[in-house]
Every structure is written in structure tokens, then in C-alpha cells.
Amino acid sequence: MRSDLAAGLTVGAMLVPQAMAYALLAGLPPEVGLYAATIPVLVYALFGTSRQLAVGPVAIVSLMTASALSSIVEEGSAEYLEAAALLAVMVGVVHLVLGGGRLGFLVDFLSHSVLVGFTAAAALIIGFSQVKHLLGISVPRQEHFIDTVREVVSTASETHGATAALGFSALVVLLVMKRVAPRVPAALLVVVGSIVAVRALDLEAEGVRVVGDIPDSLPAFGLPDFSGSLIGDLAVTAVVITIVGFMESIAVAKVYARRHRYEVEPNSELIGLGAANVAAGLFGGYPITGGFSRTAVNDTAGARTPLASLVTAAIVLVTIAFFTPLLTSLPNAALGAIIIVAVIGLIDVAEMRHIVAVKRSDLIGLSVAFVATLALGIEIGIGVAVVASMLVVFARMSTPHTAVLGHVAGTTSYRNVARFPEVELDDGIRIIRIDAAVSFVNASKMKRLVIEYAESLTAEPKAVILDCGGINDLDATGAEMFVDLIPDVEALGVSFHLAEVKGPVRDVMHRSGLWERFDDRIHASTHDAVLTLTGHGATNPDLRRAGVDERTQDPPSKTAQEAP
């Protein structure tokens, strides 16, 4: 309990200024951020499965909220607040539908490389959106990043001196404290220091903008306006926020679950976050999710159970009830500095380098996500990135890895000639391995490959063996390709054999009639196929005992069909 209390107090001190800052980023009054950091945090503590995850307003979701709402309703209006609450409820419902339907796997369509590129671009967009607060200039909200940069540059000459001095001082303090004392709630120190500076030097009279009056009323239950047209306008954004928010949340939750040796269940997490978002919408907040930085602080401060989150929510509630009058002189520049420092860590250059080192082709999805998000905006950018990453997957499937195999002397093993040049090759037998499912995406390429190797044979017994150990699936197009391929290969005077055929592929071959077409040219292993072709072995008539086919007169059970 002692460690959970300490963690809850620490994160609460961190969350109060962050929640206000992120509400400002979303185009909402600061109290909305505080409301989103109270009841929803309590609800997640009851339903979530992570013991360390600190939920609440986060930068990316705040930016996506502003991007969606600013084009539909006027910022600062009562309709804007209603739309933000409705969006939170919609995000919660999408979470609940995915979790209840055990559809958590759908978020996997957003690959890690795409998420890294998208997050980095969003961090730049967020950072530049706060420069106006740091400089004390007026810059209207822009749809595209380049327009924001252009506006900031063109109005930089109008910088307000006192605001800039205060903003950059806050920025320096936050960066220095992050390096020398990362466990200290630097944001809270900046909030207190900037309020003292504004009041002591009467900076508000000098033109420094402050948050102003904050209602001291606790979050109250209320239904947002469920307008049909508004729901239609926000539907896509709700899905995108769900995917991005859940990816961020589950990623950090799994890190700390592994560290503390327990499990987080993705579908249960969807339900926990869904319930929290519905609560946010019903109690005057806006969409939330789990945050990287707060979770790290929560764990470092000693959080071991959801009690820490209950303490955090209590701290925010106490702040709303008793301390909001002290926050009226809080300058927007300090909140802007807090946001900028918070999003700097989202540009993970080290992870980008790691992705490129591991799989260079993943750079395509990362780069497309980064450029598209900056150029086209949040929703369109991430949509383009997902499509691009899926096209990369299809490209890989259309040109799968293939290998010519040779015999490892003294063994029954066969290896890739390109990797093991010392293996033995028989001029009359060509052994090919395909490391992918054979489907409509690559069927024609596979057919050309087999014919190409069949044409290259000049010595007897003139046979092609397809090692199917790497083929885990076969669709109707692939089966039809084999039906056409058999006579084409035989027309070249070459016999066509299969080996290592997996159970799911055998099932498709039986259902399509392809198995009978190969007759006795299917073998349990590549070595058995070679022995049969060279006359050193005989085909075993008992296919089940030989490990070729498990079928008898009766059809296989469902378990047998699914087993490899």
C-alpha cells in the first residue's frame, strides 16, 4: 500500500498539469482535461488488467480530437464540448465492441513500423501547434503541418517578449529536470513557478495569456447530444482513435506486465479502456488512453496494484474541488512547454534505426506513415500508411523466398545451395523449396519458377521435387495452378513430385482433386522422394504408415484437418 500511495501521489502531481495542457491541445477548456483524469481513471482501475498503466488524456489522442472537431463545430462553443464528449462515448463503444467480439487482433493491421512513423509525425505536429503559446502569437488552427509552420514563421516577428521568456524558461527547466531528476514531477514545479512569476511580476497585465477561471465543480453525469449527423461525421475518427490509442496503451502495458511477470489480456484491455472512455464522455471529458510517460513514472514510483490509479484520481478530484482558484494565473506558455517536452520522446530515432537494421523493407511503411501524416493530416495519413504497409505485405507474398536445395553429405537433410555451396546436387533432379502460402497473389510466379527449373534439366531421371515444408496454405487459385502445371511439366519430359506436404495443404488437395492427379508422386520427405527417383527406395503403399497421408476410407476429423 505504501508504494501504491507514493506512486498515486506522484502521478497525480504529474497528471494535473498534463491533463490541462492536453485539453488545451484538444481545443478544450482545461477543466475538461481534469474531468477526463478522474472518473475514467477510476473505471479503468476496476476493469483494466494492467497494474501499472496510467490512463488519461494523451498528446496524440488530444491532437486527433482537435483535428476531427475543429472541422465540424466551432472551437470554444458549447457544441464543441458536446462533440468531444460524444466522441469519447463513441471511442468507448468501439473499444467495447472489439473487446466483446474478441476482435483485438484487428489492431495488428497497424504495424509497429507504421506506428513509429505516425507517432513521430504526430509529435512534430503537436510540437509546432504549441509554438504559438510559447511565443505568445496568434496562429489559427491549420489542417496541414506545412501550413502551421508557414503561419508560425510569418508571425514570429510578433512574438510577445514576456511570454517567450516565460515559455522558454519553462522549457529549459523541464528538459534539465528530465535529465538530472527524472522522478521529480517537473511539470508541477513549472506550473507552480510560472504562476508565482505571473502574480509577482503582474505579467497578465503585460499581455501574458493565462488559462483564466476554472470551474471548481466536480465532474457531473450528463448525456452528450447523440446527433445522427454528428455521429456520422465522427465515426471514422472514433475508429482511428481506438486503433492508435489501443496500440499505444497495449504496447506499454505489455512492457510492464513482462517486467513484473503477469499477463495483460488484449480483449480485456479493450473492455477496460472502452468503459473508461464511455465514462469520460458521460462525465464531461474527452477520449483517453494509456500514456507512455505517466506509466513509466507510475512504475518507477512503485505502483504494484490499481490502487495507485485510485489515488491518482483522488488527487485530481481534490485539485478540482479545492485548488482550481490557484490555477487561474497559470500561463498558456507553461502548458505549451509541458506538451512540447512530453512529445519530444515520441520521436524515437533509435527505434527507427533498429527497424531499418532488422528489416529494411519496413522503412517503407515507416516513411509513408511519417510523410503522409505530415502532408495529409492525421486520419488520412494513417489510412494511407496502413494501405501502404499492407501493399508491402502483398509484395512480399507475391515474391516469396524460394531456394534450390542440395543434399548434405552423410545425412538425410537438404539445404539452400545459396547458403551452403558445399551441398551435393544431382544434375537430373532439381529440388525447390517455396517459403510461403501458394495463393492467387503468387500462383503464376510459382508456376513460372517450376517450369524454369524443369526446362534446365538435361540428365536423367529429369525430375522436379517441390519441398512443401514451407507452404502452410493453398487456396483455390493455387490448387488450379498445380492442376495446369502438372501437364506442362510432363510435356517437357520431366516428372513432378511433392514432399513434406502439411495437413492443411493436403486437405485442400483432396477437396480439389489435386491429390489424385499426383498419384504416387507425393512423399513423406524430400529424402524419400530422392531415394524413390534414384531407385534406392520403394514407395510405401501404406500412406498413413509412411507419414504421407493420414486419411483412410473415412474423412478426417476437424482436429486432423487443422493439425500440420
25-49 pLDDT, tens digit each: 999 999 999 999 999 999 999 999 9
Ordered domains of the chain (ranges, CATH)? 2-133+147-199+210-392 (no CATH), 400-562 (3.30.750.24)
Q: How confident is the model at residue 108 (pLDDT cuts 50, 70, 90)?
A: low
Count CB-CB contacts under 10 A for residue 247: 20
Q: What is the mean pLDDT of residues 372-389?
A: 81
Task: Taking each helix axis as running N to C, give the angle between helix 2-25 and helix 186-200, from 0 to 180 degrees, rounded to the nearest 10.
Answer: 60
Strands (E), 49-186: 55-56
CA distances from 150 to 84, 123, 321, 377, 382 (A): 28, 17, 41, 16, 23
Among 365-369, 410-414, 504-508, the minimum mean pLDDT is found in 365-369
Q: How many CA atoms lie within 13 A of 367 on its CB side?
A: 8
Residue 556 has pLDDT above 60, yes or no: no
Closest of 236, 246, 245 to residue 104, by C-alpha: 246
Q: What is the reported pLDDT for 552? A: 55
Q: How confident is the model at residue 250 (pLDDT cuts 50, 70, 90)?
A: confident
Residue 561 has pLDDT above 70, yes or no: no
Q: What is the reported pLDDT for 541? A: 57
Residue 359 has pLDDT above 80, yes or no: yes
Distance (Å, whole) CA 339 – CA 9: 21
C-alpha cell at 212: 483564466
Distance (Å, whole) CA 18 – CA 214: 15
Q: What is the reported pLDDT for 381? A: 81
Pick the more confident residue, 490 or 76: 490
Supply φ then ψ for residue 182, to 5 degrees: -65, -20
Q: How confident is the model at residue 557 (pLDDT cuts 50, 70, 90)?
A: very low
Q: With beta carbons less than 8 A apart as the criterion, state whether 502 and 564 touch.
A: yes
Q: How confident is the model at residue 105 (pLDDT cuts 50, 70, 90)?
A: confident
pLDDT tens figures, 300-336: 788 899 999 999 999 999 999 998 888 899 999 999 8
Task: Taking each helix axis as running N to C, give the angle between helix 266-282 and helix 78-100, from 0 to 180 degrees, rounded to the nearest 10.
Answer: 160
Pick the more confident residue, 464 or 14: 464
Amino acid at 453: Y
Distance (Å, whole) CA 291 – CA 278: 18
C-alpha cell at 257: 506486465
Mean pLDDT, all residues of the chain: 88
Pick the more confident residue, 308 or 550: 308
Residues 6+ positions from 288 with CB-CB distance below 8 Å: 36, 37, 40, 55, 56, 57, 58, 61, 88, 245, 273, 276, 277, 280
Q: How confident is the model at residue 558 (pLDDT cuts 50, 70, 90)?
A: very low
Residue 364 has pLDDT above 90, yes or no: no
CB burial readout 9-27, b (16+ within 10 A) else e: bbbbbbbbbbbbbbbbbbb
Distance (Å, whole) CA 379 – CA 389: 16
Q: Which residues pair with residue 439 across a beta bridge?
A: none
Distance (Å, whole) CA 389 – CA 401: 19
Q: How many CA atoms lie within 13 A of 173 on its CB side?
A: 21
Query: In 496-564, where does DSSP find H-type helix?
Result: 503-512, 514-518, 526-534, 543-546, 558-562
CB burial readout 58-72, b (16+ within 10 A) else e: bbbbbbbbbbbbbee
Residue 562 has pLDDT above 60, yes or no: no
Give 345's DSSP letter: T
CA distances from 493 to 457, 520, 522, 560 (A): 10, 17, 18, 36
pTM for the structure as a whole: 0.75
Q: Which residues pair with residue 430 across a beta bridge?
A: 464
pLDDT tens figures, 388-434: 778 878 888 888 899 999 999 999 999 999 999 999 999 899 999 99
pLDDT tens figures, 172-196: 999 999 888 877 778 888 989 999 9
Burial of 538 (0-12, 13-18, 19+ CB in 10 A): exposed
Closest of 205, 208, 285, 202 to residue 30, by C-alpha: 285
